[in-house]
Amino acid sequence: MILHRLFSGDFPRSRVLLVMLLAIVAGLVLTPFIFPGAKALNVAAKACIFIVLVASFDLLLGYTGIVSFAHTMFFGIGAYGVAIALSHFGPTWAGVAAGVAAALAVSLVLSLVIGLFSLRVKALFYAMITLAVATAFQTLASQLSELTGGEDGLTFKVPELLSPGFSLSEHPFLGVSLDGRLISFYLLIAATVVLFLLMLRIVNSPFGRVLQAIRENEFRAEALGYRTVVYRTLSNVLSAAFATLAGALLALWLRYNGPDTSLSFEIMIDILLMVVIGGMGTLYGSVLGATLFILVQNYLQDLMKFASEGLGKVPLLRDLVHPDRWLLWLGILFVLSVYRFPTGIVGKLRTAARKS
């Protein structure tokens, strides 16, 4: 019963999927204990942040059927909000709160304006407009260097509890020192869980049903009496707000923010790939997609390096598996997913579970 309320009645509905999700959650939560080293912790933290970010994009793309290329803009606003507040007011919790609040306000206004102006038009047009706006915003962020630090970005201190120098106890627990990094990590995990469950709640509410109705058939939803423009705009605003929060988490974790870490178009492409490979229209897909992508991004290169060295003699094939070409293979997987299995991994697993 409690589980039912917690997950808003939307369970994985596939045994394989459940096992995979449990493995991912366990792996992320226990990372500091089972995978020692700073790299593993960073990868796990990045996976958490991207789970929130990708889920918020799925709210828009998978549930409402809107393609926006301005999602990293909101991600960046969140990250810059925290970064600017903390570097101007010093490392206090009030600074964090002010930064997040200001970022949310900016995202709210921007997403509302973009939504009202351009959600009335066709999907293609909206995609183009958001692409143009996001590019302009990126230029703006790198130009306002007094505020944003320009291309170099901002490095800042976080509140003491989260900083690496802070220590909870002299004695390490199970071989892991209880420092600020660890506290940050678990706060990040907690935030991820809360935000994810909140989004799960939203998509399974009556409001979420209307969004899905609009995705399936906008004309019919309108004929039923729903003001589709209002719902689409709200969906846009909500997804922007969650992306902003993800951005704030990113900035707090990295203690740095610059245009390339949160605003670049590469991240936008990455999110798109994560959503589609994981499965559009299923929030669980974002967990799978984001984790898989981050793992591939960080560890596939090692594997490919191995393969590339093995193929030392074969010229073209060697370049195809060159460690820097990992995006090629994910891109091919992406194209195949879009028309072979548009519901992604989660959709495939659920269909398989329903058949058996």
Partner 1 sequence: MKPSVPAAPALDALPAVRPDRVPLMLLPVLVLAALPLTGSLSTWVTLTFAGLAMGMIIFIIASGLTLVFGLMDVLNFGHGVFITLGAFLATAVLGRMTGWTESESLTRNLAAVLPAMLAAVVVAGLVGLAFERLIIRPVYGQPLKQIMITMGGMIVGVELIKVVWGPQAIPLPLPAAFRGSFLFGEAAVEKYRLIAVVVGLAVFGAMSWVLGRTKVGLLIRAGVQDREMVESLGYRIGRLFVGVFVAGSALAGLGGVMWGLYQQSVTPEMGGQINVLLFIVIIIGGMGSVGGCFIGALLVGLISNYAGFLAPKVALFSNILLMVAVLLWRPQGLYSVVKR
- Interface residues toward partner 1, by CB under 8 A: 61, 65, 67, 122-125, 127-129, 131-133, 135-136, 139-140, 143, 265, 269, 272-273, 276, 316, 319-320, 322, 324-325, 327-328, 330-332, 334-335, 338-339, 342
3-state secondary structure of 153: coil
Choose between 94 and 140: whose C-beta lies nearer to partner 1. 140
Query: 148 with 78: CB under 8 angstroms?
Result: no
Choose between 181 and 215: whose C-beta lies nearer to partner 1. 215
How is the chain split among helix, strand and coil, in percent rounded to 5? Answer: 80, 0, 20
3-state secondary structure of 18: helix
Helices (H) and strands (E) in the chain, counts: 19, 2
Choose between 340 and 355: whose C-beta lies nearer to partner 1. 340
Kindly state the smallest distance separating residue 35's Cβ from partner 1, in Å. 29
* CB atoms inside a 10 Å sphere around CB 294: 22
Choose between 98 and 267: whose C-beta lies nearer to partner 1. 267
Choose between 134 and 202: whose C-beta lies nearer to partner 1. 134
Site of tokens 């093995």: 310
* CB atoms inside a 10 Å sphere around CB 49: 27
Site of tokens 């589709």: 228
CA dist., res. 120 & res. 104, Å (int): 24
Kindly state the smallest distance separating residue 265's Cβ from partner 1, in Å. 7
Choose between 166 and 334: whose C-beta lies nearer to partner 1. 334
Choose between 24 and 296: whose C-beta lies nearer to partner 1. 296
Kindly state the smallest distance separating residue 283's Cβ from partner 1, in Å. 18
Query: 28 with 47: CB under 8 angstroms?
Result: yes
Backbone angles phi and psi of 37, in degrees to 5: 110, 155
Choose between 126 and 156: whose C-beta lies nearer to partner 1. 126
Query: 253 with 45: CB under 8 angstroms?
Result: yes
The number of C-alpha atoms within 13 Å of 156 and in the hemisphere containing its C-beta is: 30
**Do β-strands 154-155 and 256-257 pair in parallel, antiparallel, or remain unpaired?**
antiparallel
Kindly state the smallest distance separating residue 228's Cβ from partner 1, in Å. 16
Kindly state the smallest distance separating residue 132's Cβ from partner 1, in Å. 6
Kindly state the smallest distance separating residue 298's Cβ from partner 1, in Å. 18
Kindly state the smallest distance separating residue 22's Cβ from partner 1, in Å. 30
Residue environment code for 129-151, b if the CB has 16+ CB neighbours within 10 A, otherwise e: bbbebbeebbeebbeeeeebbee
Kindly state the smallest distance separating residue 269's Cβ from partner 1, in Å. 6
